[in-house]
Structure 1
Amino acid sequence: MTAPLTRRAAAGVLAGALAPVLAGCTGGKGSAGPRETAATADPALQKLLTRHAAALLRRDRQAFLADVDPRATRYHAAQQRMFDDIADVPLAAWSYRLVRTGAFPLPASAGAAGTARTAAEVELSYRLRGYDAKPVVATAYLTFTHRAGHWYVAADDDGNAAGKRTAVQLWDQGKVTVVRGTHSLVLGLAGTTALRGHAADADRAVPRVQRAWGRAGWPGTVVVEAPKTLDQLGALLAADPGDYRDIAAVTTGELGGRAAAPADRVLLNPAAFGRLSAFGRQVVLTHETTHVATRLATTSRTPLWISEGFADWVAYRESGRSAPEIAPELAQDVAAGHVPAALPANADFRPTAPALPQAYEGGWLANRMIADQWSPAALTAVYRAAGTGTPLDTVLRSHLHLSLAAFTARWRTYVQQELG
């Protein structure tokens, strides 16, 4: 649900998009251990996880590694690196909750003599100090070993052999550098200079979003994660990296509409983002920050032409650019006599959709039309109402006094006027 780099070629920019993601870790493979052992294993495993999380939070390396199986040499080494790589991340909370055990297959070769193994689904929850009002929640599938009366964490990658596409965290990929801005926190694997630039762009984005959307319902800050490679971005999203090759940025987080909506992260694609002009980078981060601000008002019922078009409207609102500069692909279609017959459908916003640029541009023009011909307040009211489950035709009649069919006809005329 993002726009390709070519979409803003004429203006030298690209706006990323909302991508609802629940970040996870890895799972198991093979034949499951006996379910009857769970009753005795569960309390001990939860106690282990609680102790393990507390050791990480208080930066007690020895205690943290004491819970990792010393015979699992590769995993033990990986956990040492992770403990060091996360050191500068300002964690306010970190906890694990054991969800279930014994339900996930393990490799047939698992376990040496005298060692019992079990797999478990675990919920990881963490918050960043000063930035997260709600936690980020991720699912992990961990393997535990039991030997000589002691449980250990032994693996988190058995699921790879099962072909599962699972997500990792930034600190699983390398040393995290932290840059703090006035309204932003940037976590990155790249150099400090680049991260400071991201923080500066994010700091400029927040006031622009506040002027358009308001201050209520979001913290007025944004957390940006900057991996070094496209493959790392794909791992963070648990997605095929190729689908995001030309995507400059993605906002993660479940669709909200409720107080329990989790914290958002803006993830940057270093290659695509790096090819943008200074103006383009600012547009992208303003667009993504808008998604952060509107999260609680955005649900699965919100049409993507509204949520994506609104984010673009905020990003371009103060740019001074003309409509053909901002919507070059749709302008080209209009010049050739091809005016869209309907508002963009949700399917038109898939990363691989053939007319993805036109979907974004059409959504932007629909939002711009509401703000121009009614008012910015009417636009935000339509946005909020669209996520409530009220039929869109009813929303438009209530706030704009037009049916969906009449609004669509008016939008088609507006597209022709602005781009023709």
Structure 2
Amino acid sequence: MLEAPSEHRMQRLLDRQAAAVREGDEAAYLETVDPLAVRYRNTERRLLRNVRRLPLSQWSYRVADVSLAEGSVGGRARAEVVAQLRYRLRGYDEGTRTATQRWTVVARDGRWYRDSTRFAETREVWEQGRLDVVTGRHSLVLGSGRPRSELRALARAADRAVPEVSALWPGRWPRRIVVLAPADLDRTAQLLSAAPAQYRGIAAVTTSENGRGRAADRIVVNPGPFGTLSAAGRQVVMTHEAAHVATREATTETTPMWLSEGLADWIGYGGTDAQLPGAAPRLRAALEEGALPERLPGDGGFAFDGPAHALALSYEAGWLGALMVAEQWGEQSLRRFYAAAGRPGPGALDRALRAELGVDEQEFHARWRQYVRHKLG
């Protein structure tokens, strides 16, 4: 009688699978798949070929849970396995990344085999269809369902963004970025573990390992909105997102969103106000209507599922906040202020303002309103 599934036994199964991935051994990889699950074997064969296109320096699994599954196949026992995939892209990932993987396994002829994948909310780009990989001077673009010419264009934009960011954020950062290029809005949402409507008008976004948080290390390009931009607009967006990657070590949950997005826009626009005449229409309209906000927006103003005009106003306000600091206190002070505002503890923003700029929150917001009137009035 076949023994009940155990974490140890499932770990051995996944260890064989991981070794086959690392060695590029398709036959050994398919030995972990139910020999009678023909359609699934073909899917897994394509998946392995995708994964082998990645510049991997690490790929392994750690079983987290094993449970008996309801139902059976031909009277055979079934179980569900949850594991943590641990992987690293050579030359791009400084640390190990993790992702949750789920499979159904079936007992056959005294052995356990995988016979289906139970996708988590967040999928990896190599699970979305044929994977294409383009390597740039400073970038790695992973695309699925996109013309290779578009992936090469993304790599060129990313390659230009890295030195542009480094000129304004000269601190320590890898100066290499990974860009994910899904085929459409639905697949963009899969990468971000979100509803498609949340990102309908968003050209690109940075995401952390778990799809949330502010320590961004991947740039996800949403093909629809990104494709409607001019070449200059696409470059601004790519540089903005690359700035989030560069500042990830200084960015925490304490960092105000207006400052995080404002600094990224300041870098995206090249540290100048040259784009100001046409780049802040919502803020200009608010000023002309006598509805200029009393203070810079709170984090809720940057919610992607809120009104589009309110989101745009928040971004414009944050940009002018960062631009004001750079102009009135200097670029180095802006960088020091950014780092200080991300330090943990209550009142971090007020402490950072007093320590680096010599003003409190009330005075800073008053100066920002005066600055907006001066720039846009």
SS class of match (2:102) = strand
CA contact (8 A) 2:215 2:251 kept: no
Percent identity, please. Answer: 44
Partner in structure 2 of residue 229 of structure 1: 184
SS class of match (2:247) = helix
SS class of match (1:340) = coil
In structure 2, C-alpha distance between the alignment counterparts of 1:151 and 1:337, rounded to whole Å: 69
Partner in structure 2 of residue 147 of structure 1: 108
Q: Does structure 1 residue 86 correspond to structure 2 residue 51? A: yes
The aligned runs of 1:284-295 (5 Å cut-off) are: 284-295=237-248
The aligned runs of 1:310-321 (5 Å cut-off) are: 310-317=263-270, 321=274
Q: 2:17 aligns with which of 52, 70, 74?
A: 52
Partner in structure 2 of residue 198 of structure 1: 154
In structure 1, C-alpha distance between the alignment counterparts of 2:320 and 2:262, rounded to whole Å: 7
Partner in structure 2 of residue 29 of structure 1: none
SS class of match (2:6) = helix
Give how far 1:294 is off.
1.0
Give how far 1:181 is off.
1.0
**Unpaired segments of 5 or more residues in structure 1?**
1-35, 160-164
CA contact (8 A) 1:255 1:300 kept: no
SS class of match (1:351) = coil
Instruction: Answer with 65-74 or 357-366: which moved more.
Output: 65-74
Q: 1:246 aligns with which of 189, 201, 204?
A: 201
Q: Does structure 1 residue 380 correspond to structure 2 residue 335? A: yes
CA contact (8 A) 1:255 1:298 kept: no
In structure 2, C-alpha distance between the alignment counterparts of 1:412 and 1:263, rounded to whole Å: 30
Partner in structure 2 of residue 75 of structure 1: 40
The aligned runs of 1:128-277 (5 Å cut-off) are: 128-157=89-118, 166-189=121-144, 190-216=146-172, 218-254=173-209, 264-277=217-230
Partner in structure 1 of residue 74 of structure 2: 112
In structure 2, C-alpha distance between the alignment counterparts of 1:144 and 1:297, rounded to whole Å: 43
CA contact (8 A) 1:229 1:270 kept: yes
Q: Give deviations 1:160-194, integer Å, cap 9, x for gaps.
A: xxxxx701111111111111111111111212211
SS class of match (2:201) = coil
In structure 1, C-alpha distance between the alignment counterparts of 2:49 and 2:190, rounded to whole Å: 20
Give how far 1:393 is off.
0.9
Q: How many residues align?
A: 368
In structure 2, C-alpha distance between the alignment counterparts of 1:334 and 1:239, rounded to whole Å: 34
Partner in structure 2 of residue 305 of structure 1: 258
TM-score normalised to the size of structure 1?
0.83
Q: 2:367 aligns with which of 374, 395, 410?
A: 410
Shift in CA distance, 319/341, structure 1 to aligned 2, threshold 3 Å: closer
Instruction: Answer with 300-309 or 128-137: which moved more.
Output: 128-137
Give how far 1:319 is off.
6.4
- CA-atom RMSD, angstroms? 2.1
CA contact (8 A) 1:243 1:351 kept: yes
Shift in CA distance, 110/346, structure 1 to aligned 2, threshold 3 Å: farther
In structure 2, C-alpha distance between the alignment counterparts of 1:378 and 1:320, rounded to whole Å: 18
**Unpaired segments of 5 or more residues in structure 2?**
none
Q: Give deviations 1:317-356, integer Å, cap 9, x for gaps.
A: 2566342312111111111111111211111100022200
In structure 2, C-alpha distance between the alignment counterparts of 1:186 and 1:403, rounded to whole Å: 43
Give how far 1:302 is off.
1.0
Give how far 1:148 is off.
2.5
Over 6 Å off, 4+ runs? none
TM-score normalised to the size of structure 2?
0.92
Give how far 1:406 is off.
0.7
Q: 2:316 aligns with which of 361, 380, 398?
A: 361
Which amino acid in the other structure matches residue 240 of structure 1? A
Which amino acid in the other structure matches residue 211 of structure 1? A
In structure 1, C-alpha distance between the alignment counterparts of 2:13 and 2:333, rounded to whole Å: 53
Q: Give deviations 1:295-332, integer Å, cap 9, x for gaps.
A: 11111111111111111110012566342312111111
Q: Give deviations 1:343-381, integer Å, cap 9, x for gaps.
A: 111111000222000011101111111111001111111
In structure 2, C-alpha distance between the alignment counterparts of 1:91 and 1:322, rounded to whole Å: 40
In structure 2, C-alpha distance between the alignment counterparts of 1:363 and 1:120, rounded to whole Å: 45
Shift in CA distance, 232/332, structure 1 to aligned 2, threshold 3 Å: same
In structure 1, C-alpha distance between the alignment counterparts of 2:215 and 2:361, rounded to whole Å: 32
Shift in CA distance, 285/245, structure 1 to aligned 2, threshold 3 Å: same
SS class of match (1:225) = strand
SS class of match (1:130) = coil
Give how far 1:74 is off.
3.7
Partner in structure 2 of residue 22 of structure 1: none
Q: Does structure 1 residue 61 correspond to structure 2 residue 22? A: no
In structure 2, C-alpha distance between the alignment counterparts of 1:350 and 1:374, rounded to whole Å: 29
SS class of match (2:263) = helix
